[in-house]
Structure 1
Amino acid sequence: MTALETDVLVIGSGPAGASAALFLATYGVRHLVVTKYRWTANTPRAHITNQRTVEIMRDMGIEREVLAEGTPHELMGDTVFCSSLAGDEIGRVRTWFTHPSREADYLAASPSPNCDLPQTLFEPILIGNAAARGSHIRFDTEYVGLVQDEEGVTVQVRDRLSGHEYAIRARYVIAADGGRSKVAADIGLPMAGQMDLAGSMNIVFHADLSRFVAHRPSVLYWVLQPGATIGGIGLGLIRMVRPWNEWLVTWGYDISQPPPQLDDDLAVGIVHSLIGDDTVPVTIRSFSLWGNNKMYAERYREGRVFAVGDAVHRHPPSNGLGSNTSVQDAYNLAWKLAFVLSGRAGTGLLDSFDAERAPVGRQIVLRANKSIEEFGAILDALGVQGDQDVAAMQRAIASRGEETPEGAARREQLRKALELKDYEFNAHGVELGQRYASGAVISDGTPEPSYTRDPELFYHPTTWPGARLPHCWLGRDGHKVSTLDIAGKGRFALLTGLTGRPWARAAAEVAVELAVEIHPVIVGPGGDLTDLYDDWARLREVDEDGCVLVRPDAHVAWRAPRLVSDPRETLTRVLRAVLDR
């Protein structure tokens, strides 16, 4: 006998599962979350929270709560490369768009700043708000197995406190059970790549390091010491968790050998070595081992089961993409489930999840691993080799200061190597530039816009169907309103100009006919919003009497370059296609 029934069962409560719960609860979807853990994350693994994720939290109404808990943008970016915190500074890179020229791109691209928000703080925000909005969450509840049929999925779970097993019946399942996903394995998702390419350890500790870092505030301090090449990254890492007294060290180990037996004494020794001062009082909080992965799922769906987050993209933390991509997977899927379950869309809409998100997962796995490889240019520039002892490595690092042609060449090589790290720390196009191609995006017949700048480093705003709606500031009663504030909220939006008013009237009529909420906005003097700086006129890429139709996830569903003879018929046809009606 089935013990529980729900519309959507979410398995896992990490960034992917917790955000899925928040989105489903906000959209009014009946759902249940199960997780084998007793509470949310107990270590601050993920932390970089990029602009796209903060935008999504803005749509959910919790942006202020997220930013209040996070370390702000201005303290994130003086990333240092050194022999130890107390030792020689090899170089410094402005990261996370804190360079003046990149900050301009960053401010123009979004109403939302990035921040550094450890997973230990982010997950409770997501879970707390989800529960407040109606999520039912069962901790200490472990996934055992599932069986699908034409009407739904029966999932067997185990209460880890009592050992009791029972079944949950759901119409759809979201597998958010992490990088060793049992659900993804059980449903046979095809995987490309390899797990456990290298070994790393995390050591979380408390120590007041203000005198070493407050004058060069950053999230990351990269340390070049003997043995750092073990683990695949090439350098050790001291990562700020909370400024400037809570930290996480990452150090490598040889994954082909038995794992190291970590204890407090060994952990303190590693920490003191990277700090470069063994008089600093250190309190170890935890330590753990993990593998560097390079694996992605070639598809994210099997029947009524959808996989999100680390279950389908497994990679090192380079570029800060992991939790962000996980949240964004769930955001893409949740509105589609809400529309299908409420009868506002046909089941074909769900096919677009796989088509849209699997290419993103592949991209970020390859990008994160390439960022690791790019550390090699720094080591080469310094003449550092993995088998060097301390003295030899120090001599190699010091050689960059020689007053010789060889020293000058080494300095130039190092400068170029550090510039290459922009692809890890300032890859705005990777963070904001996803463009979807699926049945839920209707082409307007125009080719994809060409790039004027590197598409990984720079975000290129466009209303081309499939792209994220560009941000600019519009005006209402003298107050600024982002274009992204028009979108979202579980509904479609339509933007047009004063001479495109027939589109707005058509949207109101089509919304009634299809029982789908469409928020029409006329931009112009006397319209719903004014174009404060004429930025929308520059960004919209359609005539004033054209329109831009935006999905609930703020991606452009379709656009019309100009007014047509029958806007209602056209808009009806487009929405029916997007929603598989």
Structure 2
Amino acid sequence: MSDPSTFDTDVLIVGSGPTGATAALALATYGVRAHVISRWNWLADSPRAHITNQRTNEVFRDLGLGEEIERYASPWDVMGDTTFTTSLAGQELVRLRTWGTGDDRKGDYIKASPCGMVDIVQPLLEPILFRTATERGASFAFNTEYLRHEQDAQGVTVFLRERLTGREYTMRARYLIAADGARSVIVDELKLPVEGQMARAGTVYTIFNADLTRYSQHRPSILNWIVTPDASFGEIGMGLLRAVRPWTQWIAGWGFDINKGEPDLSEATVRQKIGVLIGDPNVEIDIVKTSIWYVNQAYATRYSEGRVFCGGDAVHRHPPSSGLGMNTCVQDAFNLAWKLAYVVKGFAGDKLLDSYSEERAPVGKQIVLRANQSRLDYAPLNACFRVPGAENPVAAGIARFRDPGPDGVAARRAVQDALDLKNTEFNAQGVEMNQRYVSDAVLADPALGPEEWARDPQLYLQATTRPGAKIPHAWLVGRDGRRVSTLDLTGRGAFTLVTGLAGQAWAEAARGLGLPYLRVVVVGTPDAQDLYCAWQKVREIEEAGALLVRPDGHVAWRHEAAVADAATARAMLTEALGAVLDRPLPSGTPQSAGLHDHPAPAGKTPAFVV
């Protein structure tokens, strides 16, 4: 490796949003120097992303932030129903149980993960990531503008400008992360291939304060869709009232026709629109900020070039429908950070870094297409509340929907199918949790054919230990008698060899390697008792088989059955780790492992072994 003194930092990160801040946090946690620059004076100043799904909460749990996130978030049950009304104060048309809170889905979500969902807006999330990252050693520079970069065989020279003084200077880093958003300068510089369309539709968002408790507390909902004959609301065809701080701060949203230029954002027009959505002229409204944003449908097919890695909105640009944006940003950073850490520390070869783009680019494409499809999927629902050709199609549609005659019966029957379709946006646990990585950092099991899906893979999680999938959650019981998830026994910066009491050869082999980044979990020992037999049900291998789980929780390799002895196990494990890490394992006297055999308590800062 190069002399560290020749580098100002190991990884320089452009952008302090969810991608950049999570990358800095994870790298600092793993003992890697990370420096973040942002051209802005502080962090997010508007409540953009907010839905935080189970997989992202698992990432935060792994990084020791579970309790901190919960402290500032709106809880899962508050996310509750999504309503469709003529106005917030007016008559409801239908409701949909969303985000896994419904009676028919809650069990799926509880079974899938030790983490539920929460709602935390960016102005609350980003300071948590920032503070924790700096506490663990990352550095940040605000009011600092990225100018350009130059790569060479050893590192990256980044040219920067202090916006307050105009001073220009350079920093030298081993690697550069571009987390500079949907208008990414660095993605353009690298000429990464980007497919799709930018700015295909437009939306107005207005943040406002108003006490709407009387209309929301009895039916808690983060999202309220307004079907009203009094206004036109663009592509989706409905207006939106989104709770930012239940139930006193809100976002009002509505679409506009981009072919007619930017919409009227005068205070009088904005107040009129908000009044239509609320439906109560006596509510006092304090407008905080009004802005417009454009609906993008674009994704990069490759995320890196040399020593520069791009993530977050820079490489997947899409509307907030389905609540996938911030979640995918965080998960990009989590996937990349451990790989950079292993290469910087000499545990892995450079080829490991190629797997970042191989694994995350397909996910980015998937969520861009899904988010845009979710907008289009409002069409069948709108059709239930519209009568084409009528003088006021929406007013006529609402009247028909309430009519006791045959037309009303047909409309009410159709709305059930339309709501079922919207489950692919609002109860899409499979979209959020079914990622299957295919790369050189995953060793496919040659005995396995293509995966067969028992249920709709968009709606339902299919837990599996197939290489490339995330290790399933199962409750075990620790030495102290408390429940502990399989997710808590793995991850935290290390590879984990998971086997059972009958797999002592695997455990002996793994411990004998003495690697500082490999821990051993033997299910059935006092620290990991399968008292519920929950692990037996989901492990898909024999008790004497073995799983090799990566630091990000994804299965890198598995062997389904017992081996003859520890020597055989060691040879197989050495080969697998060497292939995944692109580096032959060291021979000779084993290193001091420095392993941590006990999981961190849920939400607490864990001990990391990298």
TM-score range, shorter chain: over 0.9
The structural deviation recorded for 1:323 is 0.3
When residues 229 and 272 of structure 1 are mapped into structure 2, their CA distance, relative to the original with a 3 A threshold, is closer
Cα contact 1:336–1:350 (8 A) shared by 2: yes
Range with greater deviation from structure 2 (376-385 or 545-554): 376-385
Residues 260-294 of structure 1 show CA distances to partners (whole Å, capped at 9, x for unaligned) of: 34243332222111001121001111111100010
2:428 maps to what in 1? 427
When residues 475 and 211 of structure 1 are mapped into structure 2, their CA distance, relative to the original with a 3 A threshold, is same
Structure 2 counterpart of 1:146, from 141, 145, 149: 149
Structure 1 counterpart of 2:307, from 300, 304, 308: 304
Residue 190 of structure 2 corresponds to residue 191 of structure 1: no
Cα contact 1:340–1:347 (8 A) shared by 2: yes
Aligned-partner Cα distance in 1 for 2:6–2:337:
25
TM-score (normalizing by structure 1): 0.96
Aligned-partner Cα distance in 2 for 1:167–1:567:
49
Segments of structure 1 that go 5 or more residues without pairing to the other structure are none
Cα contact 2:386–2:393 (8 A) shared by 1: no
Aligned-partner Cα distance in 1 for 2:123–2:259:
31
1:536 maps to what in 2? 535
Aligned residue type for 1:534 = C
Aligned residue type for 1:518 = L
Residues 50-108 of structure 1 show CA distances to partners (whole Å, capped at 9, x for unaligned) of: 01111111111110000110000111021101111111211100000011121000000
Residue 182 of structure 2 corresponds to residue 158 of structure 1: no
Aligned-partner Cα distance in 2 for 1:527–1:502:
18
2:465 maps to what in 1? 463
Aligned-partner Cα distance in 2 for 1:461–1:557:
15
Aligned-partner Cα distance in 2 for 1:89–1:216:
11
Residues 165-207 of structure 1 show CA distances to partners (whole Å, capped at 9, x for unaligned) of: 1111111111000111111111111100000010101100110
Range with greater deviation from structure 2 (82-91 or 299-308): 82-91
2:399 maps to what in 1? 398
1:550 maps to what in 2? 549
Aligned-partner Cα distance in 2 for 1:348–1:487:
24
Cα contact 1:498–1:527 (8 A) shared by 2: no
Aligned-partner Cα distance in 2 for 1:51–1:12:
24
Aligned-partner Cα distance in 1 for 2:123–2:6:
32
Cα contact 2:304–2:310 (8 A) shared by 1: yes
Structure 2 counterpart of 1:259, from 262, 266, 271: 262
The structural deviation recorded for 1:505 is 1.1
2:131 maps to what in 1? 128
Residue 251 of structure 2 corresponds to residue 248 of structure 1: yes
Aligned-partner Cα distance in 2 for 1:560–1:411:
53
When residues 577 and 229 of structure 1 are mapped into structure 2, their CA distance, relative to the original with a 3 A threshold, is farther
CA RMSD of aligned residues (A): 1.6
Structure 1 counterpart of 2:88, from 85, 89, 106: 85
Cα contact 1:18–1:126 (8 A) shared by 2: yes
Aligned-partner Cα distance in 2 for 1:528–1:70:
32
2:493 maps to what in 1? 490
2:596 maps to what in 1? none
Aligned residue type for 2:427 = N
Aligned-partner Cα distance in 2 for 1:266–1:3:
57
Residue 476 of structure 2 corresponds to residue 474 of structure 1: yes
When residues 263 and 61 of structure 1 are mapped into structure 2, their CA distance, relative to the original with a 3 A threshold, is same
Cα contact 1:344–1:516 (8 A) shared by 2: no
Aligned-partner Cα distance in 2 for 1:502–1:227:
72
Structure 2 counterpart of 1:509, from 499, 507, 512: 512
Helix, strand or coil for the counterpart of 1:499? helix
Aligned-partner Cα distance in 2 for 1:311–1:384:
41
Aligned residue type for 2:80 = G
2:319 maps to what in 1? 316
Aligned residue type for 1:139 = F
Cα contact 1:10–1:17 (8 A) shared by 2: yes
Residues 343-368 of structure 1 show CA distances to partners (whole Å, capped at 9, x for unaligned) of: 00000000100100000000000000
Residue 564 of structure 2 corresponds to residue 561 of structure 1: no
Aligned-partner Cα distance in 2 for 1:79–1:355:
36
The structural deviation recorded for 1:467 is 0.2
When residues 351 and 384 of structure 1 are mapped into structure 2, their CA distance, relative to the original with a 3 A threshold, is farther
- Percent identity between the two aligned chains: 50
Aligned residue type for 2:468 = G
The structural deviation recorded for 1:579 is 0.2
Aligned residue type for 1:426 = N
Cα contact 1:192–1:298 (8 A) shared by 2: yes
Number of residue equivalences: 574
1:9-158 equivalence runs, <5 A: 9-158=12-161
Aligned-partner Cα distance in 1 for 2:393–2:561:
68
Cα contact 1:82–1:222 (8 A) shared by 2: yes
When residues 555 and 322 of structure 1 are mapped into structure 2, their CA distance, relative to the original with a 3 A threshold, is same
Range with greater deviation from structure 2 (159-168 or 327-336): 159-168
Helix, strand or coil for the counterpart of 1:154? strand
1:268-417 equivalence runs, <5 A: 268-384=271-387, 391-417=392-418
Cα contact 1:5–1:168 (8 A) shared by 2: yes
Aligned residue type for 1:543 = E
Aligned-partner Cα distance in 2 for 1:523–1:150:
44
